[in-house]
Structure 1
Amino acid sequence: MSNPTLDQAGDYWSTGIIDIHPGSIRVRGYPIQELIGAVSFPEMIWLMLNGERPSPHQARLLDAALVASVDHGPHAPSIAISRMAVSCGLPLNGAIASAVNTLDDVHGGAGEQSSELYLDIDRRMQAGASLAEATAAALDDFIAASGKFIPGFGHRFHPIDPRAGRLLALVEEAAAAGAVDGRFARIARSVEDVLEQRKGKRIPMNIDGATAVIYTELGFPPPLARGIFCLSRSVGILSHAWEQTARHERNKGPMPRQFPYRYTGPAERHLGDAP
C-alpha cells in the first residue's frame, strides 16, 4: 500500500530532468557516466533545457553564442561589480551572485527583448504581412510601448560589433545545411533595413541582436535568451573576480581615489542658521 504523504511529496517535487538513486544518476534518461567525456558543455546545456541531444549544427550555434558573450571588459557593470565585490571581501560565489543580479532588463535583457521583437515580426508575417510591413508595424508597437531604444541594434562602444557578423555567418551556414530555418536572420536584417530607412544611417546589429537570432532559430523561448546569456557572462565574471583577488585591493570603488566625485548639493550649513 502506498503512502499518500510520500506520493504527494513526490508529485510536488516531480521532475523530468534528473533521476537519482543510490549509485545511479540519469540525466534526461542518460546515465551520467555515459555523458561524461562524451558530450560538450553546450551539448549538456541543450540536453538539460530541451530534453534531447542537439544536432552538431545546433550544438555549434549554441557554443558560438556562449563564446561570444563571455566578457565585455571592466566597464560592463556586471564585470565591474564582480571586481568590487571581491575587494569587499566576498568569495568568488558571492562575487558571481552579485554580478549576475545586475543582468536585468537594462544590462542583460536586450537578448530576450530582441527575441520577443523577432517573434512578434514572425507572427505578423504568419498572419499575412510582408517582411517589411511586419517589421515596420512591430517596431512601431515596440517604440510606443518601450521607447525609441531598439534592443539588439547599435552599440555605445563599437561602431560595428565585431561579434555579430561572425555569429550571423554561422547561422547562414546552418541554414544552408538545413539545420535551421534562417527566417529570424532575415527578420533581424529587415530590422536593420527599416531602421536605416527611418534614421538615414545604418544601425548595425550588436551581440544581443545576433545571439537572439541564434536562440530564436534554435527554438529557445525569449526568457532563455537571458538565462543562457547569464551562463555565458558568468565565465567572464568569474575570470575577472579571480584576477581581482591577486591585486589585494580593499574596497575597490568605481573610480580611482585620485578622481573624486563631484558634490552638487547645498553649501555647508548648520542647524542654527537662519532659514
Structure 2
Amino acid sequence: MTGRDGGSADHDSEVAEWWATAITRMEPGVLEFRGEPVADVIAHRGLTEVIWLLLRSGRPTPAQARLLEAAMVASVDHGPQAPSIAAARMAATCGVGLNSAVATGINMLGDVHGGAGEQCLLMLTEVVERESTGQESADAARSTVQAWRERTRYLPGFGHRFHPVDPRREPLITLVAEARDRGEVSGEFLRAGLAIEAELANTAGKNVPMNVDGLTAIIYGELGFAAPLARGLFVLSRAIGILAHAWEEQQSGRRNKGPIPPSILPLYRPDGGSTPGS
C-alpha cells in the first residue's frame, strides 16, 4: 500500500505521528486550536485568551484573563536603556529587516536580562512549599532567602536599579489582592512575595520592593504557570516594545551604530582604560 507521494502508508503514518500535536489541527479547509475552529476563536477570544488556550487549553476565567493581561502589559517596555531595546534599535538601522531587528532584541533576553521572572517564580515556589510543610510565612521566607543567598548574592524579582519603588508594583499587587479576596486565586504566591519583601527589609535595613519580574512571577504563580513560562511570557510581551522601538528607529532616518553618540565616543588608552572623546 502506498501513500499520496508514492511512499508507503506506514511511512506517511510515521511522519504524521512524529509531528503530532494537541495544539493545532490543520487540514485542507480546516484550522483548529485545541479542537476549537479558528472561526470561533477569532469571533469569541481575545489575544490573552488565545495565549491561554494554546499554552494551557481551555478558557481562563475573566479574573484569570485580567491578571494574565495585566502581567503582560506591565512587561511590554522599559525604555531604550534596556539591552533588548537598545540592541533592536541599533539593529534596525544596520540594513536588516524589521524581523531581524526584533529577533536581535529578543535574543538579548537571557538569564540576566529577561530571566528574573522565571528565577523569582522558582524562589516563590520554595516559600510556598516550605509553608505547605507547616512553616510560618516569615520563617519560610527567611529559610528560602538564606538558601538563595548561599548560591547567589542577587535575589531575582526584588529591588530596581532605577526605581526606588517600581511604578508597576501597586497596581499589580492590588489586582492580585483583590482577586485573592474574591476567592479567584489562592493568594499564596502573593503572600510569599510580601514575606520575602519583609525579610529583605529586616536584613538589609531598608525596603527592597518587588520589581516587575517579581510582580509578574506572583501572577504567573497564582495562575498556575510553570516557571519557564514566566520567562516565555515575558519574552512574548517584551517583543511588543521591541517591535515599537525598532520601528521608531527605522523611521528616524539616522544611523544608530553605538550605545552613545559619536561625539562622545571613548578614546583609546594603552592601559586598557578609556576617556570620553571631545
User: TM-score, normalising length from structure 1?
Assistant: 0.94
**Amino acid across the alignment from 1:179:** E
Distance 1:150 1:142 in 2: 7
Residue 80 of structure 1 is matched in structure 2 by 86
Change (3 A) 1:264 1:135: farther
**Amino acid across the alignment from 1:99:** G
- Count of residue pairs brought into register by the alignment: 266
**Amino acid across the alignment from 1:67:** V
**SS of the residue aligned with 1:34?**
helix
User: How far off its partner does 1:261 sit?
Assistant: 1.5
**Amino acid across the alignment from 1:27:** F
Gaps of 5+ in 1: 268-275
Distance 1:93 1:37 in 2: 28
Contact 2:141–2:192 (CA under 8 A) maintained in structure 1: yes
Q: 1:47 aligns with which of 44, 53, 78?
A: 53
**SS of the residue aligned with 1:250?**
coil
**SS of the residue aligned with 1:150?**
coil
Residue 271 of structure 1 is matched in structure 2 by none
**SS of the residue aligned with 1:192?**
helix
Percent sequence identity over aligned pairs: 47
Q: Which structure 2 residues correspond to residues 1-275 of structure 1 after superposition, within 5 A?
A: 3-145=9-151, 147-266=152-271
Contact 2:89–2:256 (CA under 8 A) maintained in structure 1: no
**SS of the residue aligned with 1:258?**
helix
**SS of the residue aligned with 2:262?**
coil
User: How far off its partner does 1:250 sit?
Assistant: 2.4
**SS of the residue aligned with 1:128?**
coil
User: TM-score, normalising length from structure 2?
Assistant: 0.93
Distance 1:85 1:265 in 2: 30
Distance 1:207 1:87 in 2: 30
Distance 2:43 2:163 in 1: 38
User: How far off its partner does 1:219 sit?
Assistant: 0.3
Distance 1:233 1:163 in 2: 15
The runs of at least 4 aligned residues of structure 1 exceeding 6 Å deviation read none
User: How far off its partner does 1:266 sit?
Assistant: 4.2
